[in-house]
Amino acid sequence: METGEKKRIEVERSILQSVDATSRAIRSLLAERGIYALNIVSSPGSGKTTLIEALLARFEGKGGVAVIEGDIETELDAERIRKHGVQVRQINTRSSCHIQPSQLLDALGGMDLSETRLLIVENVGNLVCPAEVPLGEDKRIVLLSVTEGDEKPLKYPLIFRTSDLLVVTKTDLLPYVKFDMERVRRAARAANPGVEIFDLSAFTGVGMPAFLDRIESFGAAKWPGLSTATGSTGM
């Protein structure tokens, strides 16, 4: 092995070790405070912010929710979430195509987490970069809108392999696009047999209650006294 290649491998290994260590630090911080964390990933325009707004409505009055918004530039999504009266921090990654654990840890250090029970991280819109970078979350949720095409789990398997839930969004548009739901399910479960799959429409509300029930049930162990919903199922 040439010296230059060896040095590159050593640098990459050091970076990965630093990422893992910071992710563990985030997980430890959240565990100590009893905070349940979601890392929401998808391509741009799949409906991440809309889904977060639905989660905010569900958890209103049930304990504090904090939101981290990740984007290359602007605070457009953060401004949208602030209208719901929750604590929000914007991370602008500039040239990076995903939130770095160090950026998230810094953002959390500047927040009042004393009343927070649920942390929602909206990652930068991308199906590639966030797949390899854990943020200390309890669950990773990947969104796929029907307008993107049903081949995405085949083309980008890692993000589906590393996600706990797959949410197929904008299903109200199914009559107008070419999208094979069964193909998506097969490919997603080939990449990750344990993935839970929900399909929903934020516009019509179809499928949304089952998804929200499931998220609420996940956090029950960290939220003493919270009465969780029952009867939810994955698709």
Mean of the per-residue pLDDT values for the chain?
88
Question: Could you give the 3-state DSSP secondary structure of residue 203?
Answer: coil
pLDDT of residue 162: 97
Residue pair 72/44 in contact (Cβ under 8 Å)? The answer is: no
Write down the H helix ranges in the chain.
Answer: 3-32, 48-59, 76-82, 101-109, 152-155, 157-161, 181-191, 208-218
Question: Could you give the 3-state DSSP secondary structure of residue 132?
Answer: helix
Task: Return the minimum-mean-pLDDT range out of 45-49, 203-207, 220-224.
Answer: 220-224
Alpha-carbon gap, residue 212 to 61, rounded angstroms: 15
What integer is the mean pLDDT of 213-221? 88
E strand spans, 85-204: 87-92, 116-122, 139-145, 165-169, 196-199
Instruction: Please determine, for residue 122, whether its predicted confidence score (pLDDT) is greater than 60.
Output: yes
Residue ranges of domains in the chain: 3-222
pLDDT of residue 96: 86
Alpha-carbon gap, residue 151 to 43, rounded angstroms: 13
Higher confidence at residue 62 or residue 20?
A: 20
Alpha-carbon gap, residue 93 to 71, rounded angstroms: 6
Instruction: Please determine, for residue 232, whether its predicted confidence score (pLDDT) is greater than 60.
Output: no
Tokens of 58: 């569900």
Question: Please, which residues have CB within 8 angstroms of residue 218's CB and are 6 or more apart in sequence?
Answer: 36, 138, 139
**Which overall architecture, per CATH, does domain 3-222 show?**
3-Layer(aba) Sandwich (3.40)
What integer is the mean pLDDT of 82-99? 92
What integer is the mean pLDDT of 182-211? 97
pLDDT of residue 221: 74
> Please, is 10 exposed, middle or buried when counting C-beta atoms within 10 Å of its C-beta (0-12, 13-18, 19+)?
exposed
